[in-house]
Amino acid sequence: MIKRYHIPALTFFLFCTSIALLAQKSVYSFPFENSYKLPPMETYINVEEISSTYQTYGNLYTTEIIGLSEETVEQTSSTYISDVKAIDAFRFLKFYMEEQLVSQGDETKGSVEMSIIYFHEKGRVNIGTALNILTLGIGTLFGIPFATSFTVVEVEASLFNDNKQFITVHVGVGRGKKWIGLYNLDTRLPHQRALKEAISELNSKIMSDPKLQQLGSASIFPEP
Q: Tens digits of per-residue pLDDT, 27-70?
A: 778 888 888 889 999 999 999 899 888 887 554 444 555 555 55
The answer on pLDDT for 131 being more than 70 is yes
How many other β-carbons are positioned within 10 Å of the β-carbon of residue 194? 26
pLDDT digits (tens, 9 = 90+) for 170-207: 999 999 998 888 887 888 999 999 999 999 999 999 99
The answer on pLDDT for 18 being more than 60 is no
pLDDT grade, residue 219 (50/70/90)? very low
Q: Are 165 and 196 in contact (CB under 8 A)?
A: no
| Level-2 CATH architecture, domain 34-216 | 3-Layer(aba) Sandwich (3.40)
